[in-house]
Structure 1
Amino acid sequence: MTDTSTIDAPERAARGSDFARLSRRVADAGLLDRRPGYYALRITLVVALLAGGWGAFLALGDSWAQLLVAAYLAVVFAQVALLAHDLAHRQVFRSRRYAQAAGWLAGNLGIGMSYGWWMDKHTRHHANPNHEDHDPDVSPDILIWSHRQAAASRGVARIVGRWQAYLFFPLLTLEGLNLHVSSFRALRRPQLKHRAVEAVLLVAHVAAYLATVFAVLPLGKALLFVAVHQAIFGVYLGCTFAPNHKGMPTLTAEDRLDFLRRQVLTSRDVRGGLVVDVALGGLNYQIEHHLFPSMPTPNLRHAQPLVRAYCAELGIPYHETGLIDSYAQALRHMHAIGAPIRARG
């Protein structure tokens, strides 16, 4: 698997380019400086919210109100995942060792997601966003993202692809489970570094989670709690990433774009103010995040005017829309891609 240091390194490939000039402007504005106070407060709040959720679970005991706790914990789990995302990009700690240790605690132990597996996957996405051959986020495993993938689709992807726009959100209810399963599958890969540490923390999470739920709730309520919790977690987490690239141009080996254009043309920013900033963990500034992966989340909104103006100088389209419209654009794209499959019957 890719070394974790590469997740914040794409800038190095673009020295002397259009991106280098933008990078100097951003650096001169102090937007690459770390924000320890912000992350100290954010980590404290997320830990407190997580502890409070499990405390409420234990206090309620055998009650149908636990389904509200399940929904609440799903939202908090997603916020932990977003924090792990920032840790992976070295936005929080300069030290790779500290970032990795915190990532294991947040990802593996906190929510049952392999930090190392996700790091490898996300690094490849950042290097080649929306690239049909290299971005794992647009691989045609179940959903398809381009006409070329539609033409080559077989099996499940072909069946789902017909009506994937309608199935997208229902399928997201399984995304939490998919993250857990993929994390355990990754433990079998010798390329995964620190497999023993990751395995111990993953098993500890699953054991503690299931033991707590089934010790407090009777079987039926326990199963329903897990189903609600994991379904909402998957939908929320999927909804934080779906607006960013889905429906934007996909790239192939024939496309020859520099770093700046590769990142800007395949990404989409989402408007919405503070509420959207918090809900999406800053990923609504996706263009800025892809250009400067190690930029602390609170600095992204300040970088946006600089990036937008620079793109206007160069005549590079800069795509920004509202939250609801971002989903609508993605769904329209998915439905259009499935049209040839529907036509073939």
Structure 2
Amino acid sequence: MANTKLLIAFFLHLMLVFSVLDLANAQGLKLDFYKTSCPSAEHIVKEITKKFISRAATLAAPLLRMHFHDCFVRGCEGSVLLNSTKKNQAEKDAFPNLSLRGFQVIDAVKTALEKKCPGIVSCADILALVARDAVSVINGPSWSVPTGRRDGRISIATDALNNLPSPAFNITQLKQSFASKGLSVKDLAVLSGGHTIGISHCPSFVNRLYNFTGKGDTDPTMDQNYIAHLKSKCKPTDTTTFVDLSPRSTHTFKPNYYTLVGKRRGLFQSDAALLTDSTTKAYIQLQAASKGSTFMKDFGESMVKMGQIGVLTGKSGEIRKQCNRIN
């Protein structure tokens, strides 16, 4: 018993140490970090992002998702952008990241910034700023992004597999995943609202339609009319068809995600799971009833919080010359 108590105390101490280190790094971020070193940095990011999104609004969702996938694996330090090498399979090539798109936007921004201010603006900061600007362009909220992140040098595919929350997670798994990154249950409910834009391929949810418990059944928590609609789109072995995460708002950032989830029309099990917790359910009901009265503000606040996970600042990491490879 004594040994068990000592072991628990040791792990709690370790968690406290890591939390303090993360907080110290996050405090290294600040607004207008590039005000002196590259005054036009944020303007350049915004203009290039706007140019891409105006031509292809569907890029907004994957750019937002890319930032999320970066932060949940090793922290917000740009590791999701690195290419695999002969000796290492990078995060980019892990299964959950194979559907990521928009790397050309990050590369275009980086090229422009390297031309204007060589070796100054990190890829991690670019990713955080692009995610904000991509959402803003499609009528979503805008928020002030603290900058000063530096880029990591390590990217391992298995880290993505072990850290990214699955669309099949239940509420316990979701809460544990977010808590491990310093995010609250409210942050879980708010950031899930990002599913108001984007698409998903059939394999991410098809088991809910045809074989939920392995007995050829459907998910009883999903609206039957929605199931019929999805079955008309996706056959059991379909791997190429995709559907909108939130019908009629794929290209515009709106809070109707919460109305759909409340009607049991969330596409993923992880969406439906939000109705099984009192805190997340109350948030869904509030936003559905008030037509998203606080969602835009809440989303910006949670994105700032997420953008501080495990950041590298000061002399840690590096400023990559190219976002897909270390210096």
Please state which band the TM-score falls in when normalised by the shorter chain.
under 0.3
Give the TM-score taking structure 1 as reference length: 0.27
Structure ranking higher in helix proportion: 1
